[in-house]
């Protein structure tokens, strides 16, 4: 079986999702609870509608576009945070592909409570990865004690751990709603 990872369909879906991500990043400074769930939903939809390589592409591009569009002070102070955000997004994409893609492709996927439990697990995995790497190691290590940002360290640590899990969970809610309709449309095309 010849798999096309970057065929016309996959590129089109990924491009549309990337456009949605970029537009949402214009609102990044308003609240992470606007941008975060949208980007997480786009990553999840990329896994389900296209494939894992396309989702990973989004995982890599979106932190860079976030930095270009609206770099936060912590990103400017600790640019090493960008690859760890990419990796956190990849954790979400890979766990979604491994735990959810097959079950959500079936007829009863969205009706099964197990799918929702798996979604929570995926969200927690992302939050835990980013909490361990960014919140507990990267930020305390690389934000200088004399920096004004050091006093905001607890806020940043919450943002890059608990809030990541919450925004991923909200992203699953959005993605499941979108997937319910999108799956039917994609089946008609086949």
* Better pLDDT: 53 or 28: 53
3-state secondary structure labels for all residues of the chain: CCCCCCCHHHHHHHHHHHHHHHHHHCCCCCCHHHHHHHHHHHHHHHHHHHCHHHHHHHHHHHHHHHHHHHCCHHHHHCCCHHHHHHHHHHHHHHHHHHHCHHHHHCCCCCCCHHHHHHHHHHHHHHHHHHHHHHHHHHHHHHCCCCCHHHHHHHHHHHHCCHHHHHHHHHHHHHHHHHHHHHHHHHHHHC
pLDDT at 1: 39
62, 144 contact by CB (below 8 A)? no
pLDDT at 189: 60
Average of per-residue pLDDT values in the chain: 92
| Each residue's pLDDT tens digit, 157-170 | 999 999 999 999 99
| Each residue's pLDDT tens digit, 90-112 | 999 999 999 999 888 777 778 88
- Is the pLDDT at 190 greater than 60? The verdict is no
- Is the pLDDT at 2 greater than 60? The verdict is no
pTM assigned to the model: 0.93
């Amino acid at each position: 079986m010849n798999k096309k990872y970057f065929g016309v369909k996959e590129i089109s879906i990924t491009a549309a999702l990337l456009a949605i991500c970029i537009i949402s990043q214009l609102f990044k400074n308003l609240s992470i609870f606007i941008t975060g769930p949208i980007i997480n939903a786009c990553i999840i939809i990329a896994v389900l509608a296209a494939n894992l390589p396309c989702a990973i592409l989004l995982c890599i591009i979106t932190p860079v576009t976030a930095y270009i569009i609206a770099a936060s002070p912590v990103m400017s102070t600790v640019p090493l945070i960008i690859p760890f955000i990419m990796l956190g997004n990849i954790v979400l994409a890979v766990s979604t592909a491994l735990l959810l893609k097959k079950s959500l492709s079936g007829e009863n996927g969205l009706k099964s409570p197990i799918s929702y439990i798996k979604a929570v697990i995926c969200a927690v995995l992302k939050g835990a990865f980013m909490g361990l790497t960014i919140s507990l190691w990267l930020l305390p290590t690389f934000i200088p004690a004399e920096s004004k940002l050091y006093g905001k360290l607890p806020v940043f640590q919450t943002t890059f751990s608990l809030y990541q899990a919450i925004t991923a969970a909200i992203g699953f809610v959005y993605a499941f709603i979108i997937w319910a309709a999108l799956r039917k449309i994609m089946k008609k095309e086949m």
